[in-house]
Structure 1
């Protein structure tokens, strides 16, 4: 077995296990709705394509048959019956059995068996590796030496400060206090200058370290895409019996390893689609003046902080008439409509959309391009199809070079700091309150120079939908925030859909380091990432695609003006906001929970462990209404804090909510038996769980 295939099989093994795990979890969850069925279909479709790449025909065949069955259910909007569930489970078992029986790299001998008492073989392939140039390692070592030098200077600074403190203590005994004070002043001034120099050295070193570490995570595109040329040629021979020239361009472009790897399957879908839809007879190619052998081009290029991955063929190009006919058949456009070419081409990325009359192992289900679009959206990117020049079809995915960095517009929505990705922002406007119209319960505002497609080439004013961004962030009754007679609006557009979202303030455009939001209990579909600029307030980065999708389904339809109605008579006294004590040794978790709770009107106190929390409770005169505590913490854990609170007559009435990543029944029982009012696990936790729990115990 050649080295490349061994590597591909290792990748496939991890992929197939992930697909099987998710599909089996869906089966175990009970009756499947349309969304769950679609997820199973997409995973079976991807599994089939991946099996073809590694030449596992048995796995590919099982997946193909199952895919056909699932497609009939989806296409006919049929319910999933017991027989269907059994068929899915049996197919997963067959695929698993094929993989378990597959020989290893050396192939097992007929009598191969482990010796009694022998240790199990070490897994040498479980890790993930990346090649790092020696020059990059040298640069990292240089940064380390600079930081060590700054640390040594910091130590000397502390020693000098101790000497200065000793001199200050003895100054009272000197005969000339004024001279002693002057010496102390000069010493402090010198220490201040040295501290500034050390801080600058630290800042420069940390900046260089961040740049070098980010560069380490970037890999050439060829490490993932370079092996696809042979696969494409094989598919072309099997499908049509002909040859194809494959050109790989920009394989030395470097991008985030996770981004490149996530694009591999979508690129395979695009290459397969190009083979199927770009086929032409030799005579037709000759008549069109094309080279006799078809050409497929996979190109990668970088524009700013965006990565553009394109698959181009020199075939017959998009069949707009066939696409329009299929769109009419599926009810996506009216028969008398004349949609623009770009509108029609956007339809090919809809699930189930295909212009082929029948399906085979390569295409026809209408899912390949929808998988591509979903992958691009997951990476906070987009995809488009266009006619090639002078012939053929070009499909381009545009995604951020790195998933760790993102350019966002930082805005304020109530107590929350929200980041909107720059790629989706069409315009920033201040809309006078008097210009806002309400039609059928929705708000709109006129935009004078936005081109209305219905107006042809004329640039006329059009009404743009408007919604308060706060209505999608846990405040469904929020109105449009009016400040100085106007509303600050961010016009967001994606895939032909646009809407203006009202915010309280617009701060600045920043490039932020983004961390995963799912691990910290946020709505990971709407808020896929969190940025941490200098300071302690996180920036919640919104997915514009999810935001627009939720707006389309009716979210944020209120659009009334905040504070538009004034009540007569004296202002009633406002009730005291409940105070929540958050106890967690993770600053990330503490800060996020504080932000979520404050955004919903709670006062929040913070403690880093049970010992600090207990001290605050006993010494502070401030009333605490609920304690939300982690379990695993240094000094005193959550169980210890719970016991201490319950045994103290002054504190025993305070409800305690335990929140932890440990989902073991014994821990849950221990917490509830110990007097906890609720026990929340962090796996799959969303902010609504915490808020609902707190409302329930108050």
Structure 2
């Protein structure tokens, strides 16, 4: 029975949110019609029955009271007036308060008590139960159609395999009856060729159909994961009004306006933003508070107004919380930053740089601490949530008054926009969210300060201004330049700036209000890519947390800007010595690079090892298992110098490949390195006794060890 109740509560959680979202939309738009009145009545009636089913009498009573009021109004043939709208809005707030008691700002919520200490129904999230979403029948029909298309491809694949099996059977029959071939070999070969070509054409058609079916299925599955912003943020208005009463007393009021609640994004993205947005609402109430007299004197409405706006721009979701309060106190922020040692007392900082400091842990300008604010935790939680979602957060002064805080995150956590740049043999992805400028700095325009190179950033107000007006603008802004290869290159990567055609290509990135220019060899393009977690062998997963595959066997290593800046700061945040990379010197006869055969059934590990080896001067061949590797060893026009092979592979594993190499006099002297996740003494002894020259375990592997091992064998 406990499991059944938890399942019912999970279903009710999705249902009541949907009812409240629709009712709020109606109250904010076209509630003056009888159709709207009838729809609100129907929703309240359904909500009452659902609350009765899950035994939440408090919600049932509220819904019943609103239902009675609406029923009387409908019998009279009337429509909703301002008083009715206010009563219904308060009822929705009460339902939210019952279902979602506001937790203390810096503590986890108590699973069984509301804000006023009364018992409430535990929500599914608090009990660890499965969450439910409501899906339109039309969307289920579309998903069913996509699955049907994919099943059709599978059936077609089976028929194609039968045709191929028939052809193979006929070919085997001919091999046992060669006299049939001698009778008319041309006709026999022609028939076989036509059958094979027909199979090939059908395979091409089937592949296209399969790709389209998979694409459609992926789109439909993704569409099901989308939810309107109102289902997640709709209840925050009630919570904000309750916070205002806690802060300013029972008579304190705040008007909360919701915009863009129909915008859809992945549910997990919306849910991850819910608590940060609640922190922003609390911050707007506490720090933007003004007395009634202050507001009226400033020509503002009597009550504070907070606007929560959700917009969708391309592949990025933007959530903005703005208020008409007193706005950020830049002098207090600067003084606090000086006291905490974040900035020097004489440091010239503009408003943007100062406001970036408020997201630091422990930063608060409040003189006292209470249960709502003052510990400097709220905004740091917002910043951390934005980083976890691969997004950004920024605060700015509102116009003409107040504060605006904007959260910007990718719509999908697997899809991000990156700038592709070349760094040696590697393709690097720099997240677009932190890129501030893209520059091409001529060599003679680079400023040298204390022996380190700096570039002059274009001022946003002067790039297009006439030359005579530029002198009156703000002073020029300098940014240090460092080579990206110094952080993501190999041990022998050049540390000088890559100068090409007399200029340096620089991507200026900004993290937490600090800017640095990273010099790259070449900028390729900006693309939106599907990112996979990076956990492959030899990869620095802290600096490179993600990999994308826009092209076959050419991965894009997506950099974490936070980790990149940490490593730059570890070098005291300075530019590198200005030593441009020398151009490659042509030689009469280039020495042949050693050839390494990499054998692994994982395309990620295989490709990463190839990238590492090629970046350090090796030629590389790839094989997916032992059988393909043995064929390449026997048929390659070049002799392989070293074999690096995985152990656990289909068809022929690493031990079998090692035995085959040692048994063949033509291959026996090729050194073999075994690389596997097996890390026990028996397996290591088996490999070395079988003739392996080295044994590397993946758990302890780094690229330096692989390179040192191969160089030692050569």
Quick check: TM above 0.5? yes
The aligned counterpart of 2:552 is: 535
Alignment partner of 1:670 is 2:714: no
Contact 2:658 2:672 in 1 (8 A): no
The aligned counterpart of 1:116 is: none
The CA deviation string for residues 533-592 of structure 1, in whole angstroms up to 9 with x for no partner, is 24221111223344344334438724522225979xx88974854x55544322222222
Q: What does residue range 206-245 of structure 1 map to in structure 2 within 5 Å?
A: 206-242=214-250, 243-245=252-254
Contact 1:450 1:462 in 2 (8 A): no
The CA deviation string for residues 666-698 of structure 1, in whole angstroms up to 9 with x for no partner, is x53333444565553549x76567557767888
Give ranges in structure 2 of 5+ residues lacking alignment.
14-102, 175-179, 464-469, 689-693
Choose the corresponding residue for 1:387, options 383, 386, 397.
397
Q: What does residue range 290-369 of structure 1 map to in structure 2 within 5 Å?
A: 290-336=300-346, 339-369=349-379
> Larger radius of gyration, structure 1 or 2?
2
1:355 deviates by: 0.7
1:405 deviates by: 1.3
Instruction: Indicate the RMSD between aligned Cα atoms, in angstroms.
Output: 4.9
Q: What does residue range 156-171 of structure 1 map to in structure 2 within 5 Å?
A: none
TM-score, scaled to structure 2: 0.68
Flag the 1:572–1:185 CA change in 2: closer, same or farther, 3 A.
closer
**d(CA) in 2 for partners of 1:460, 1:294:** 37
The CA deviation string for residues 85-119 of structure 1, in whole angstroms up to 9 with x for no partner, is xxxxxxxxxxxxxxxxx99969xxxxxxxxxxxxx
Alignment partner of 1:142 is 2:159: no
The CA deviation string for residues 236-284 of structure 1, in whole angstroms up to 9 with x for no partner, is 4444434444444333322223322332332233233223212333433
TM-score, scaled to structure 1: 0.69
**d(CA) in 1 for partners of 2:642, 2:208:** 44
1:56 deviates by: 7.5
The aligned counterpart of 1:274 is: 284
Q: What does residue range 365-514 of structure 1 map to in structure 2 within 5 Å?
A: 365-436=375-446, 438-445=448-455, 458=473, 464-475=479-490, 476-514=493-531
Alignment partner of 1:563 is 2:582: yes
Flag the 1:465–1:234 CA change in 2: closer, same or farther, 3 A.
same
Contact 2:640 2:670 in 1 (8 A): no
1:202 deviates by: 3.7
1:348 deviates by: 1.1
The CA deviation string for residues 36-66 of structure 1, in whole angstroms up to 9 with x for no partner, is xxxxxxxxxxx974745446799xxxxxxxx
**d(CA) in 2 for partners of 1:280, 1:546:** 40
1:517 deviates by: 1.7
Choose the corresponding residue for 2:608, options 573, 578, 592.
592
**d(CA) in 2 for partners of 1:450, 1:124:** 51
**d(CA) in 2 for partners of 1:616, 1:190:** 30
Indicate the SS of the match to 2:393. strand
**d(CA) in 2 for partners of 1:644, 1:188:** 34
1:512 deviates by: 1.2
**d(CA) in 2 for partners of 1:194, 1:565:** 49
1:624 deviates by: 4.5
**d(CA) in 2 for partners of 1:54, 1:236:** 21
Indicate the SS of the match to 2:550. coil
Contact 1:523 1:687 in 2 (8 A): no
Q: Which moved more, 1:140-149 or 1:550-559?
A: 550-559
**d(CA) in 1 for partners of 2:543, 2:372:** 34
Contact 1:551 1:557 in 2 (8 A): no
Indicate the SS of the match to 2:280. helix
The CA deviation string for residues 296-335 of structure 1, in whole angstroms up to 9 with x for no partner, is 4433221221111122333322122211222333344454
1:469 deviates by: 1.9
Give ranges in structure 1 of 5+ residues lacking alignment.
11-46, 59-101, 107-122
**d(CA) in 2 for partners of 1:441, 1:651:** 55
Q: What does residue range 181-200 of structure 1 map to in structure 2 within 5 Å?
A: 197-200=205-208
The CA deviation string for residues 314-368 of structure 1, in whole angstroms up to 9 with x for no partner, is 3322122211222333344454556332222222112332111233343222232
**d(CA) in 2 for partners of 1:582, 1:429:** 39
Aligned residues: 589
**d(CA) in 1 for partners of 2:214, 2:583:** 49
**d(CA) in 1 for partners of 2:136, 2:197:** 44
Contact 2:106 2:377 in 1 (8 A): no
1:515 deviates by: 0.9
Indicate the SS of the match to 2:359. coil
**d(CA) in 2 for partners of 1:689, 1:255:** 44
1:648 deviates by: 9.4
Contact 2:505 2:520 in 1 (8 A): yes
The aligned counterpart of 2:62 is: none
The aligned counterpart of 1:259 is: 269
**d(CA) in 1 for partners of 2:662, 2:362:** 58
**d(CA) in 2 for partners of 1:524, 1:547:** 12
Flag the 1:647–1:563 CA change in 2: closer, same or farther, 3 A.
same
Indicate the SS of the match to 1:532. strand
The aligned counterpart of 2:639 is: 622
Contact 2:423 2:489 in 1 (8 A): no
**d(CA) in 2 for partners of 1:325, 1:195:** 71
1:397 deviates by: 0.8
The aligned counterpart of 2:136 is: 133
**d(CA) in 1 for partners of 2:680, 2:104:** 41
